[in-house]
Chains A and B, each alone.
Chain A
Amino acid sequence: MNSAERKLEPADGIGQDLPDGSEKRALHAVEDVLPAPAKVRSPALIIEGNKWIGPDLREMWAHRELFLFLAWRDVKVRYKQTALGASWAILQPLISMVVFTMLFGRLAKVPSEGQPYAIFSYAGLLPWNFFTTAVTNSSNSLISSTNLITKVYFPRLLVPTAAVGACLVDIAIAALMLFAIMPFYGVGFHASLLMLVPLVMLAALTAAALGIWTSALNVKYRDIRYALPFAIQMLMFLTPVIYPISFLPERWRWLLRLNPLSGIIEGFRDAVFGRPFNWEGLAISALVTLGLLVGAAFVFSRMEEEFADVI
Chain B
Amino acid sequence: MEPIIRVNGLSKRYRVGGGNGYGSLRESIVKTAKAPLRLLNSRTRNNTANGKSHFWALKDVAFEVQPGEVLGLVGSNGAGKSTLLKVLSRITRPTSGRVELYGRVRSLLEVGTGFHPELTGRENVFLNGAILGMRRSETARKFDEIVAFAEVEKFIDTPVKHYSSGMYVRLAFAVAAYLEPEILLVDEVLAVGDIRFWQKSTDKMRQLNAQGMTIVLVTHNMWLIQTVCTRGILLKKGQIDVEGRPQLVIDAYRRTAETLKEDTTTSNGGDEKGAIESLQLLPTEDWTSDGEATPGAPIRLKFTAYVPSEPRVKFYVRIASPDGVPFFTVYSELANVPSSGRVTCEAKIPRLMLHGGDYLVWVGVCSDRDQEDKLLQANVPLVVSQTGSAHPERGLFWNEAAWEIS
Q: Do A and B come from one complex?
A: yes
| Residue positions of A touching B, CB distance < 8 A | 1-2, 5-6, 8-9, 11, 13-19, 23, 26-27, 29-31, 33-34, 37, 41, 43-50, 65-66, 69, 73, 76-77, 80-81, 147-154, 220-223, 305, 308-310
Inter-subunit contact A1/B239 (CB<8 Å): yes
Inter-subunit contact A9/B107 (CB<8 Å): no
Stretch at the interface among B72-80, B132-140, B142-150: B132-140
A44: B residues at CB distance < 8 A: 101-105
Tell whether B298 is near chain A: CB-to-CB under 8 Å: no
CB distance from A303 to the nearest CB of B (A): 11
Measured in the bound complex, the distance between the Cα atoms of B110 and A46 in whole Å is 23
Measured in the bound complex, the distance between the Cα atoms of B225 and A18 in whole Å is 12
Residue of A9, A69, A305 near B126 (CB, 8 A) is A69
A29: B residues at CB distance < 8 A: 210
Tell whether B44 is near chain A: CB-to-CB under 8 Å: no
Inter-subunit contact B130/A152 (CB<8 Å): no
Tell whether B333 is near chain A: CB-to-CB under 8 Å: no
Residue of B23, B114, B248 near A5 (CB, 8 A) is B248
B contact residues, total (Cβ < 8 Å):
77
For residues 145 through 182 of chain B, which have their beta carbon under 8 Å from a beta carbon of chain A? none
Tell whether B271 is near chain A: CB-to-CB under 8 Å: no
Inter-subunit contact A46/B98 (CB<8 Å): yes
Inter-subunit contact A153/B123 (CB<8 Å): no
Inter-subunit contact A222/B1 (CB<8 Å): no
B246: A residues at CB distance < 8 A: 13, 17
B210: A residues at CB distance < 8 A: 23, 26-27, 29-30
A222: B residues at CB distance < 8 A: 22
Stretch at the interface among B30-38, B86-94, B358-366, B396-404: B86-94
What are 26 pairs between A and B in contact, CB < 8 Å? A9-B231, A15-B230, A17-B226, A17-B247, A17-B278, A19-B280, A23-B206, A23-B209, A23-B230, A26-B209, A27-B68, A30-B212, A34-B68, A43-B6, A44-B102, A45-B100, A47-B90, A48-B97, A49-B97, A50-B95, A66-B130, A76-B118, A153-B90, A221-B25, A305-B92, A309-B20
CB distance from A81 to the nearest CB of B (A): 8
Inter-subunit contact B91/A150 (CB<8 Å): yes
Residue of A6, A34, A149, A221 near B22 (CB, 8 A) is A221
A73: B residues at CB distance < 8 A: 116, 119, 123, 127
Inter-subunit contact A19/B109 (CB<8 Å): no
Measured in the bound complex, the distance between the Cα atoms of B130 and A279 in whole Å is 40
CB distance from A104 to the nearest CB of B (A): 35
Inter-subunit contact B131/A152 (CB<8 Å): yes
Measured in the bound complex, the distance between the Cα atoms of B62 and A276 in whole Å is 66
Tell whether B387 is near chain A: CB-to-CB under 8 Å: no
Tell whether B96 is near chain A: CB-to-CB under 8 Å: yes
For residues 170 through 225 of chain B, which have their beta carbon under 8 Å from a beta carbon of chain A? 206, 209-212
CB distance from B243 to the nearest CB of A (A): 4
Tell whether B242 is near chain A: CB-to-CB under 8 Å: yes
A43: B residues at CB distance < 8 A: 6, 100-102
Inter-subunit contact B118/A77 (CB<8 Å): yes
Inter-subunit contact B230/A13 (CB<8 Å): yes
Inter-subunit contact A47/B230 (CB<8 Å): no
CB distance from A12 to the nearest CB of B (A): 10
B239: A residues at CB distance < 8 A: 1
Measured in the bound complex, the distance between the Cα atoms of B21 and A220 in whole Å is 8
Q: Residue on B with the closest CB to A218?
A: B22
Q: Residue on A with the closest CB to B22?
A: A222
Measured in the bound complex, the distance between the Cα atoms of B116 and A44 in whole Å is 32
Inter-subunit contact B93/A49 (CB<8 Å): yes
Inter-subunit contact A48/B130 (CB<8 Å): no
Tell which of A37, A153, A308 has the most Cβ of chain B within 10 Å.
A153
Decide: A308 near B92, CB < 8 A? Known: A13-B231, A27-B210: yes
Tell whether B292 is near chain A: CB-to-CB under 8 Å: no
Measured in the bound complex, the distance between the Cα atoms of B123 and A30 in whole Å is 35
B66: A residues at CB distance < 8 A: 11
Tell whether B99 is near chain A: CB-to-CB under 8 Å: yes
B28: A residues at CB distance < 8 A: 221
CB distance from B15 to the nearest CB of A (A): 8
Inter-subunit contact B98/A48 (CB<8 Å): yes
Tell whether B329 is near chain A: CB-to-CB under 8 Å: no
Measured in the bound complex, the distance between the Cα atoms of B63 and A2 in whole Å is 13
Inter-subunit contact A47/B98 (CB<8 Å): yes
Inter-subunit contact B304/A19 (CB<8 Å): yes
Tell whether B370 is near chain A: CB-to-CB under 8 Å: no
B247: A residues at CB distance < 8 A: 17
CB distance from B261 to the nearest CB of A (A): 25
Residue of A19, A48, A50, A308 near B278 (CB, 8 A) is A19
Closest 8 CB pairs of A and B: A9-B244, A26-B210, A43-B100, A6-B243, A153-B90, A47-B99, A69-B130, A13-B245
Tell whether B67 is near chain A: CB-to-CB under 8 Å: yes
Measured in the bound complex, the distance between the Cα atoms of B88 and A12 in whole Å is 25
Measured in the bound complex, the distance between the Cα atoms of B130 and A65 in whole Å is 7
Tell whether B372 is near chain A: CB-to-CB under 8 Å: no
CB distance from B162 to the nearest CB of A (A): 13
Q: Residue on A with the closest CB to B100?
A: A43
Tell whether B340 is near chain A: CB-to-CB under 8 Å: no
Tell whether B69 is near chain A: CB-to-CB under 8 Å: yes
CB distance from A283 to the nearest CB of B (A): 33
Q: Residue on A with the closest CB to B212?
A: A30
Measured in the bound complex, the distance between the Cα atoms of B94 and A43 in whole Å is 18
Inter-subunit contact B98/A8 (CB<8 Å): no
Q: Residue on A with the closest CB to B213?
A: A30
CB distance from B242 to the nearest CB of A (A): 6
For residues 269 through 290 of chain B, which have their beta carbon under 8 Å from a beta carbon of chain A? 277-278, 280
CB distance from A190 to the nearest CB of B (A): 39
Inter-subunit contact A221/B94 (CB<8 Å): no
CB distance from B363 to the nearest CB of A (A): 14
Measured in the bound complex, the distance between the Cα atoms of B63 and A1 in whole Å is 13
Measured in the bound complex, the distance between the Cα atoms of B167 and A218 in whole Å is 35
Decide: A66 near B91, CB < 8 A? Known: A77-B119, A310-B20: no
CB distance from A216 to the nearest CB of B (A): 12
A48: B residues at CB distance < 8 A: 93-94, 97-99
